[in-house]
Structure 1
Amino acid sequence: MLQDALAGAGYPERVLVACSGGPDSLALAAVAAYFARRGHVDGHPVSVGAVVVDHQLQHGSAEIAEKTAATLGQLGIAPVLIRTVDVAATGMGPEAAAREARHAALEAAADELDAGVILLGHTLDDQAEQVLLGLARGSGTRSLAGMRPDRGRLFRPFLGLRRADTLEICDVEGLEPWHDPSNADPAFARSRTRVEVLPMLEEKLGPGVAESLARTAAILQLDADYLEAVAEDAFGRLRQQSGDEISLPETSLRGLAPAVRFRVIAKAAAAVGGQQPSYQRLLAAEALLRRQGSAGPVQLPGGVNVYRLSLAELLAEGGSAPADVPREGARCGKLVFRPQKRPQT
């Protein structure tokens, strides 16, 4: 698994393991340390470092980070960095905020050490939990596709292993992992999914539920990647930019398949500084194309307004009719995405 991941990454000379001290990441570090001691993977030279991120969210987190770093050093991994981060209170929720801070610290450490790959210890169980949470939230294809095996420098070679496998690796290697108490805290939806929901599904539906959910994620990743590529091409063809505004020709946008149209609208919002809109917000923006009721603006997350500019308004502003508008389409114009002006302080 790890060999396959490093081969897929082009056999980078330096690899960085992200380790919290938990069983999954500690087992991954133990496997990576084996190749570090050998000094090569499939004949390609490799050195292995590690980074421990202290989120400062629990009492004694600094001591846990120090103990984990010492264990990694005993495995023969070097250098081992400890990075302390401040998890900002944002509207994205504590788990997402912690993940954002952690990934920023990992990327910075990889830059510092010139590492080509950052290894993460997520398992098949994590993937199954991710899919279940996406289903519960009514998320789209990308969310249900779960975590990618690799994205940029981030690689997850253990996505095919169960959590029990990582515990066994730690036991065989004589390692004592730290068990994060938040993983069993019912205050968190992911913890409830892990401790209550997934075991109940395995009990009621029979074994193999986690594997089936992970397989669903793998299938949907292919679908999501294809739709993403089609939407990216369509957005590149349709986008018209003026200053900090982006507009999309109404006729062309309406001609896209719905699955692509929603993605193009989301891309336009992101291109002017917005965040991923919810399905409800995308529906509201897409409804402007039907020319029923208000022409906007519709507010999208991240401080973006989208409104419909009719052809008459477009011409009044000194613009020209889109080339793809037929004569009978005189009512057609464009959707305009504009970042909201921030109040000056």
Structure 2
Amino acid sequence: MRQIAPAVYKLRKTIKNLLQPEAHYLLAVSGGADSLALAHACAALAAQGWGSYSVCHVEHGLRGEEALRDMKAVQRACEAWGLPCFTEHVQAASYAAQNRLSTEDAARRLRYAALRRIAAQQGAAAIVTAHHEGDQAETLLLRLLRGAGLQGLAGMRAQQGDIIRPLLTLPKSLLEEYCSAEGIEVCYDSTNADTAYTRNRVRLELVPYLERSFNPAVVPTLARTAALLAQDAECLEQMADDAYRQLARRQDDAVSFPVTQLTALHSAVRLRVLRRAYFELGGEELSFERSQAIDSLLLRRSGGKIIQLPQGINVVYKNKQLIFVKIMYKENEKMHDDIKTVLLTKEEIDARVQEMGKQIAADYADKDLVVIVLLKGAAWFATDLTRAIDMPLRVDFMVASSYGNGTSTSGSVKVKLDVSEDIKGKDVLVIDDIIDSGVTFASITDMLRHYKPATLKTAALCDKAERRVNGLEADYVGFKIPDEFVVGYGLDYAGDYRNLPFIGILKPAVYARK
């Protein structure tokens, strides 16, 4: 009788502790030692009557032939172990560019979307991943470096919604030992050695440094810390849930709270209640700064002030109530009905413009600065930006366009108003609302160079780099945005929408009907 290796016994026992014998689960399998050990162990459990399993492998469109090799290896392993295997192909790089995400974040979002799609098709009770102790330690470090509260520092949970992570308490070495004991041939992802990715730098550089210099057992120590923090976070979440049930009043697309009772809560509980209201109305992500702004509105009881949040959610204090409303700018519904989604809120724009103004003021200290504003669209941005540049400057204007009434550049630049200021020997900064193809900006800067300024730089609020037809890059950029037609804060379509206080993506149906 074959003797079961300790690693094999421990892995299978650990998985059984979190999975139900009568349920069907979807396993996320990349082809590495961690996920192949998980898949093999689950196949063995299925043979013993403990659950049923299928596999999903997601190929992210990043590694070419190497990724296809891994996909085929997973398919072969699943066939040998009697596990149904589904493969999904996604394009992480293009999704990252379109949504202003890192490649890592884009790949993660697409991967989980694919896993949930297959899980729903297969009627899976949950998705099972192979995250282990080392992954947990890396997650804690990443969130600590980025800045996080208790909820974030608690790391990944063994059970969280539709995700189960049964291996979080196991070291990677045990999973590698399992694969060796069972003769499993694993795949190696070359991008795991690329320190351009933040998580890889943490794993390959920061963790070894901490092990050498501070604590040889730093990985299990951090994993235990995350587990302890998770207990505390769960306690606070329960307190917040109780407070939310007692105080929140939900009506259609609004959630309101009595201010007196809400302010009496401890701040740790109160902030969780506020965030809960935002997510209840369909919010997706809420930054620390926005959470603090909502709390400040509550504590100051600032009547009449509106805080605009992503996903079209507003917060207002009125009649001793703090109200979250899923309504945007009700006073002009028709214009706002034309907006598909808010890309940049007024608060985001204001904060970024202030940052740009400070940077420009520092760069041009003791210089003779002339700002040239490209009308009409840049007027809103330029007005706010020049007020944020705390130094003497002069302002001039040009009118040029390559759009007309369409949604894409015509390629032909028309100059209707030239500068009146003598810019010879001066330091010139050209301000526009958006760089798209780069045609207009390139033509204008080429023209201005004939006037022999001492220096010539450019600033744009938005950069739609995917549309670029030349190598132009602005010296100061507010936001990189996806290839969508955007309006608001000076940006228009056929002269409309400039007066929106935010920047939103225009519904295609709007320019289709015009």
Q: Which TM-score band (shorter chain)?
A: 0.7 to 0.9
1:58 is aligned to 2:63 = yes
2:214 and 2:53 mapped to 1: Cα distance?
42
The equivalent residue for 1:315 is: none
* Offset from partner CA, 1:14-52 (integer Å, 9 cap, x none): 33321100111112122222223x3323xxxx3332121
1:234 is aligned to 2:243 = yes
1:285 is aligned to 2:294 = yes
* Offset from partner CA, 1:59-97 (integer Å, 9 cap, x none): 1233421222112222x1321111223443324543233
Bigger relative CO (Cα 8 Å, ≥ 6 apart): 1
* Offset from partner CA, 1:77-127 (integer Å, 9 cap, x none): 321111223443324543233222222222232233333343211110000
For residues 65 and 15 of structure 1, do their structure 2 counterparts lie closer, same or farther at Cα, with a shift above 3 Å needed?
Answer: same
173-182 or 143-152: bigger deviation: 173-182
SS in 1 for 2:183: coil
Structure 2 gaps, min length 5: 1-10, 329-335, 339-506, 508-514
SS in 2 for 1:241: strand
1:294 and 1:59 mapped to 2: Cα distance?
56
* Offset from partner CA, 1:301-331 (integer Å, 9 cap, x none): 333221211x3xxxxxxxxxxxxxxxxxxxx
The equivalent residue for 2:45 is: 35
The equivalent residue for 1:70 is: 76
Cα deviation, residue 233, structure 1: 1.8
* Offset from partner CA, 1:185-233 (integer Å, 9 cap, x none): 2222111101100110011012111111100111111111111111122
CA contact (8 A) 2:119 2:127 kept: yes
Q: 2:22 aligns with which of 12, 32, 49?
A: 12
SS in 1 for 2:311: coil
CA contact (8 A) 1:144 1:217 kept: yes
**What amino acid sits opposite 1:228 in the alignment?**
E
RMSD between aligned alpha carbons?
Answer: 2.2
List aligned pairs for 1:1-345, cutoff 5 A: 1-36=11-46, 38-41=47-50, 46-60=51-65, 61-74=67-80, 76-87=81-92, 88-89=95-96, 90-291=99-300, 295-309=304-318, 311=319, 333-341=320-328, 342-344=336-338, 345=507
1:302 and 1:92 mapped to 2: Cα distance?
17
* Offset from partner CA, 1:216-263 (integer Å, 9 cap, x none): 111111111111111122112222234322222111110111001001
For residues 203 and 7 of structure 1, do their structure 2 counterparts lie closer, same or farther at Cα, with a shift above 3 Å needed?
Answer: closer
295-304 or 198-207: bigger deviation: 295-304
CA contact (8 A) 1:228 1:263 kept: yes
CA contact (8 A) 1:52 1:83 kept: yes
Work out the percentage of aligned pairs sharing the same amino acid.
Answer: 36
**What amino acid sits opposite 1:51 in the alignment?**
C
1:113 and 1:164 mapped to 2: Cα distance?
32
2:82 and 2:105 mapped to 1: Cα distance?
29
The equivalent residue for 1:323 is: none
The equivalent residue for 1:324 is: none
SS in 1 for 2:297: helix
213-222 or 175-184: bigger deviation: 175-184
For residues 336 and 183 of structure 1, do their structure 2 counterparts lie closer, same or farther at Cα, with a shift above 3 Å needed?
Answer: same
* Offset from partner CA, 1:121-166 (integer Å, 9 cap, x none): 1110000000011111110111111111122442222112222222
SS in 2 for 1:50: strand
For residues 116 and 292 of structure 1, do their structure 2 counterparts lie closer, same or farther at Cα, with a shift above 3 Å needed?
Answer: closer
For residues 139 and 57 of structure 1, do their structure 2 counterparts lie closer, same or farther at Cα, with a shift above 3 Å needed?
Answer: same
CA contact (8 A) 1:12 1:115 kept: no
SS in 1 for 2:168: coil
Cα deviation, residue 294, structure 1: 7.2
268-277 or 87-96: bigger deviation: 87-96
CA contact (8 A) 2:21 2:49 kept: no
CA contact (8 A) 1:12 1:116 kept: no
333-342 or 265-274: bigger deviation: 333-342
For residues 3 and 182 of structure 1, do their structure 2 counterparts lie closer, same or farther at Cα, with a shift above 3 Å needed?
Answer: same
Cα deviation, residue 4, structure 1: 4.3
CA contact (8 A) 1:50 1:77 kept: no
CA contact (8 A) 2:30 2:58 kept: yes
Cα deviation, residue 175, structure 1: 2.5
SS in 1 for 2:227: helix
CA contact (8 A) 1:56 1:62 kept: no
Structure 1 gaps, min length 5: 312-332
254-263 or 178-187: bigger deviation: 178-187
Cα deviation, residue 54, structure 1: 1.5
